[in-house]
Chains A and B, each alone.
Chain A
Amino acid sequence: MRVNVARLRQFSSWRNAIQEKNHSVNAFVHVAPPAVSAVEHDVPLRDVAVGLKDMICTLDMATSSSSLMLKEFKSPFDATVVSLLREAGADIVGKLNCDEFGMGSLNIHSVHGPVINPFQLPSSVPWAEREKRSAGGSSGGSAAAVAAGMCYAALATDTGGSTRLPASYCGVVGLKPSYGLISRWGVISFADSLDCVGVMAKDVAGTKRVFDVLNAHDSKDPTSVSSAVRQLAAQEANKAWPTSSLANLRIGIPQEYFPSELSDEVLTPVRAAIAGLQSQGATVVPVSLPSTPYALSAYYVISSAEASSNMARYDGVEYGLHVPPPPGSNLKNTASIYAHTRSAGFGPEVQKRILLGTYALTADAFDNYFLQAQRVRQLVRDDFNQVFRARDVLTSSPANADGVDVLIHPSAIRTAPPLEASGDDGIGTYVQDVLTVPASLAGLPALSVPVQKEGWPVGVSVVGQWGCDDVVLRVGGFLESL
């Protein structure tokens, strides 16, 4: 029996796909050799091929975060999510490309080279010579791998949209769960108060299947929420939407999430999806989240500040890249010595954010930027609590009887952008984030579901109250079956 399993894995369709396509997609940066599953009995993910974003620590494979700083780094432990997957019988096929340390939205900032979106419009051009478009970021490799059939599911991370955006561009399902549900032990930190482990799969059922295995309290993660609180949230969700049927579903359409920059390519299928749900009995209401215009600035201040703090450990002393100071260097000052390693090891996008974040934390700037951003963050949370029907169990905010169960809006402003044109990111790339960042600031569950049957993929986001991930997944399922 064991030998047969090994053969199965060797010649599985997943691994065949990796062999055929990875060269042209550059999703996988490391492929694990097929291993025999150690688990014999009935397990939820037996032999299911799962890829891991290269920011998730694995004992048996390097974890580079797509950075020169950690290119050869081997973690001495498995992340909790990796242990859970292994216990569930999953076949962990390899590590996936991403933007360096999770910073970026196009997966072009990587020491392994960019990820190329596997999608191709029907055309006579051979697939390997298809129009090169971005797979989105920062978890471009995860989305592309799933889209190209290289794995059943992929784990990613999401700090400001890094799972939902690539899911939208590549045409797969991407879930950013409620903050605090999936353990971050062993997940390399970008911004601790925003980071979540994301799950991607071809469909909602696959996403839920993997999410259920990972959705557990972990005492090693101090931000992991207790089982009691999770249950409380589930009860609240049930109270608000007891039937779980479309007939009783109230959907909010947030007006601030339809900016003028939104392309028609996106608007048309999103409208159609909403109309489809409405025609099946759902109630659709316009809502407003007035703090949305400030959310983007708050996000960039907070995430950069936290990033500058989390990147401080990369000095080449205990592990990772070490660039010895050249002869004649100033050796008296530790910072000057470390600068040699850090300037070489970090790419330009990471350096930009470290500088921005360091500035935001300086004594002069702290009140005006960091503290102010935290206040805005609270306003964003309050906005969501005012529109949802289900109560937020983490705070003492009251329930809103006229509220909605979920919000639905576009995941991205456009379809996948061409790779060539995206040399300089500029402000434009950041504007995209306005659609994904508020749910990150508020720690809410958000799911991107592909709604475009033809043409470049378009994703629709479903956002729910904290802890109501099953509600969000259920609505995602309805969207899928339209």
Chain B
Amino acid sequence: MSGKTLPYKKWLDSSRRNGCWYTVGASIFGGPRAFNDFPKDVCLVGCPFDPGWRWPGWQVIIGIETHAQLKARQKLFSNSLTSSLGEEPNTHVSPFDAAFPGTLPNLNQNCVDIALRTAIALNCNIQPRSSFDRKHYFYSDLPTGYQITQHYAPIALNGYLCIPGRDSPIRIKQIQLEQDTAKSTFNPRTRTSSIDLNRAGAALVEIVTEPDLRSPEEAGAYGSLRCDVNVSVNPIGKPWGTRCEIKNLNSVKFMQAAIIHEIDRQRALLSADDGFVPQETRGFNQDTFETFALRSKEDAPDYRYMPDPNLGFLTITPERIEKTVHTMPELPWETRKRLLEAYKLSEQDVDVLFNLDIGGGAVTYFDRIRGLCSTGALLLMVHELVGRLHTSKLTFADNPISTAQLGELVDLVQNGSITGTSGKLLLRKMLAEPNEETTTERARALSLLVESSSDDETAALCAAAIAALPNEAAAYRKGHENVLNKILGRVMKESRGRADSKRVKECLISQLKEQ
């Protein structure tokens, strides 16, 4: 949001900055497909770019189709459980998912509710009547030979999403419910494909934007994993060019790289004499960062969309919409606003919390502790906690420290019962060996409580330090007051940070003055 423009190279080399998830991914969807796979670099949000120097005289038109897996317990048309990553293959499969003869679809109303929440969050018009269609093609990850989707009448139309860095929102053309495919893994050595049906039939929503995006950065700000992107370029002032679709981009970083390559490719084609861009569907090579042709317009498959005869119409009553509106969770942009305004956190802190939230519950955790203590000390601890988790490659979901325990820790630091340094040490201990003890008990057990060192102990430490540093003691007595810090430092070191620095200072001064 700085309003500064950055040179191209600096943008490419820019330091890691966590992407900001303005999409509804965090609280409504299942989040990223791979829990550790959210991009940490090259996702610059809110840095408006002057496009002039990159492709002067050209306009870029981008539309995005996102496929997001719904956070539902069961699949869209069968009651098999949905799977998370790393599950044993082919363990969450019903005869329907495997396309066995004689099976029929049963719409999971919970999936419909989640789709409705998505539509409401994206300000869409929910259609009172929508329907399901079969999209036919043959592929090894599609056991039925067709995917059930909503081609002719999707569940929601005409919404919008605001993104930072531009005034006009991104218009959402439609949201449709559809089945996910199975997962196919190709082994080049044995030249075989392995099919895992765990994912087959899981509920997806496909979110389609109008071609409102105008740069790779805006596309990044809109954000999306697992998407197809449509890109076209045209000289400014001229009609829009032919668009090409780039399929199966599964990170924001790859999406932006694909868009950039595609812009350059199309510009080069159009700059030649009688140049034109053939309409194509293209893929993206994650090693070379280039797009490549998958199929031409002539080879485009005819999906022979047919209304599914078993499913009829999906009717959504106004009452159901009302009920869904009233049970919506707080939306990401509402949370962001609240954290910024009510808690007076910085943008950067909010970004950090949001990124943690994808792993599970950081914002809720913060909300609970927040009520227990002041922000300053809390932030210190949260930063420390986050840093420790990150070093150990853990997500927030792995945090073993309860809100009560962390709240108590913050209190202890705040009221001086333990020093800041001790606090950090204690935190590390609590992470490494979590238990049910209260923080105070733990601190006492580790002799970290400042009160545990008596006046005698403090006096002894001071005397020892003065004796060990006679030159510094003499210098202080002569009037060099700054040298006190060196003696103080020694005491702190000897006490391993446990001593109360204020009291030590007083003690040292009084001892030094005596002699």
A362 touching B302, Cβ below 8 Å: yes
Complex alpha-carbon distance, A459 and B112, angstroms: 48
When distances are taken between beta carbons in the complex, the residues of chain B under 8 Å from A187 are 102
B95 touching A335, Cβ below 8 Å: no
- CB pairs A–B below 8 angstroms (26 shown): A63-B102, A65-B101, A75-B101, A76-B95, A76-B100, A184-B104, A185-B102, A185-B104, A188-B102, A189-B101, A189-B104, A191-B309, A219-B106, A222-B104, A222-B106, A222-B107, A222-B311, A223-B312, A309-B136, A309-B306, A312-B146, A313-B99, A318-B99, A334-B138, A361-B136, A362-B304
B306 touching A370, Cβ below 8 Å: yes
Smallest CB separation, A56 vs chain B (Å): 8
Given A312-B136, A312-B138, A334-B138, A221:B306 Cβ within 8 A: no
B100 touching A318, Cβ below 8 Å: yes
Residues 271-307 of B, flagged 1 when their CB comes within 8 A of A and 0 if not, give 0000000000000000000000000000000101110
Complex alpha-carbon distance, A88 and B486, angstroms: 95
When distances are taken between beta carbons in the complex, the residues of chain B under 8 Å from A7 are none
B105 (CB) vs chain A CBs: closest residue: A222
When distances are taken between beta carbons in the complex, the residues of chain B under 8 Å from A335 are 138
A75 touching B102, Cβ below 8 Å: yes
When distances are taken between beta carbons in the complex, the residues of chain B under 8 Å from A214 are none
**Is A77 part of the contact surface with B, judged by Cβ < 8 Å?**
yes
A309 touching B134, Cβ below 8 Å: yes
Residues 341-383 of A, flagged 1 when their CB comes within 8 A of B and 0 if not, give 0000000000000000010011100100010000000000000
Complex alpha-carbon distance, A75 and B95, angstroms: 9
When distances are taken between beta carbons in the complex, the residues of chain B under 8 Å from A362 are 302, 304
**Is B379 part of the contact surface with A, judged by Cβ < 8 Å?**
no
In B341-372, which residues have CB < 8 Å from any A CB? none
**Is A338 part of the contact surface with B, judged by Cβ < 8 Å?**
yes
B77 (CB) vs chain A CBs: closest residue: A222
Given A317-B195, A362-B302, A334:B140 Cβ within 8 A: yes
When distances are taken between beta carbons in the complex, the residues of chain B under 8 Å from A191 are 309
A312 touching B101, Cβ below 8 Å: no
**Is A456 part of the contact surface with B, judged by Cβ < 8 Å?**
no
B143 touching A361, Cβ below 8 Å: no
Residues 270-309 of A, flagged 1 when their CB comes within 8 A of B and 0 if not, give 0000000000000000000000000000000000011001
**Is A239 part of the contact surface with B, judged by Cβ < 8 Å?**
no
B143 (CB) vs chain A CBs: closest residue: A318
Smallest CB separation, A308 vs chain B (Å): 8
B102 touching A305, Cβ below 8 Å: no
Number of interface residues of B (CB under 8 A): 29
Complex alpha-carbon distance, A306 and B133, angstroms: 12
Complex alpha-carbon distance, A186 and B104, angstroms: 8
**Is B415 part of the contact surface with A, judged by Cβ < 8 Å?**
no
Partner of B102, one of A79, A338, A361, A363: A79
When distances are taken between beta carbons in the complex, the residues of chain B under 8 Å from A185 are 102-104
When distances are taken between beta carbons in the complex, the residues of chain B under 8 Å from A222 are 104-107, 310-312
Residues 70-110 of A, flagged 1 when their CB comes within 8 A of B and 0 if not, give 10010111010000000000000000000000000000000
Instruction: List chain A positions with a Cβ less than 8 A from chain B.
Output: 56-57, 63, 65, 70, 73, 75-77, 79, 184-189, 191-193, 219-223, 305-306, 309, 311-313, 315, 317-319, 334-335, 338, 358, 361-363, 366, 370
B106 touching A318, Cβ below 8 Å: no
Complex alpha-carbon distance, A313 and B107, angstroms: 20
Secondary structure dominating the interface of A: loop
A221 (CB) vs chain B CBs: closest residue: B104
**Is B55 part of the contact surface with A, judged by Cβ < 8 Å?**
no
**Is B8 part of the contact surface with A, judged by Cβ < 8 Å?**
no
In B97-122, which residues have CB < 8 Å from any A CB? 98-107
When distances are taken between beta carbons in the complex, the residues of chain A under 8 Å from B312 are 222-223
Smallest CB separation, B370 vs chain A (Å): 46
Given A192-B309, A370-B306, A57:B101 Cβ within 8 A: yes
Partner of B95, one of A77, A188, A311, A363: A77
Smallest CB separation, B293 vs chain A (Å): 15
When distances are taken between beta carbons in the complex, the residues of chain B under 8 Å from A63 are 101-102
**Is B139 part of the contact surface with A, judged by Cβ < 8 Å?**
yes
A361 (CB) vs chain B CBs: closest residue: B304
For the A-B complex with A70-B101, A192-B309 known, give 13 more contacts whose Cβ atoms are closer than 8 Å: A56-B102, A75-B100, A185-B104, A187-B102, A189-B101, A223-B310, A312-B145, A313-B143, A315-B138, A318-B99, A334-B139, A366-B304, A366-B305
Given A312-B146, A315-B145, A306:B104 Cβ within 8 A: no
Given A222-B107, A362-B304, A318:B98 Cβ within 8 A: yes
Residues 447-489 of B, flagged 1 when their CB comes within 8 A of A and 0 if not, give 0000000000000000000000000000000000000000000
Smallest CB separation, B101 vs chain A (Å): 4
Smallest CB separation, A297 vs chain B (Å): 18
Given A312-B145, A313-B144, A315-B138, A189:B306 Cβ within 8 A: no
Partner of B306, one of A70, A186, A361: A361
In B126-145, which residues have CB < 8 Å from any A CB? 134, 136, 138-140, 143-145
B145 touching A313, Cβ below 8 Å: yes
B197 (CB) vs chain A CBs: closest residue: A318
When distances are taken between beta carbons in the complex, the residues of chain A under 8 Å from B145 are 309, 311-313, 315
Complex alpha-carbon distance, A219 and B312, angstroms: 15
Smallest CB separation, B151 vs chain A (Å): 12
Partner of A305, one of B95, B99, B138, B306: B306
Complex alpha-carbon distance, A373 and B495, angstroms: 90
Complex alpha-carbon distance, A304 and B302, angstroms: 17
Smallest CB separation, A318 vs chain B (Å): 5
Please give me the 4 A-B residue pairs with the lowest Cβ-Cβ distance, nearest first. A312-B145, A361-B304, A193-B309, A192-B309
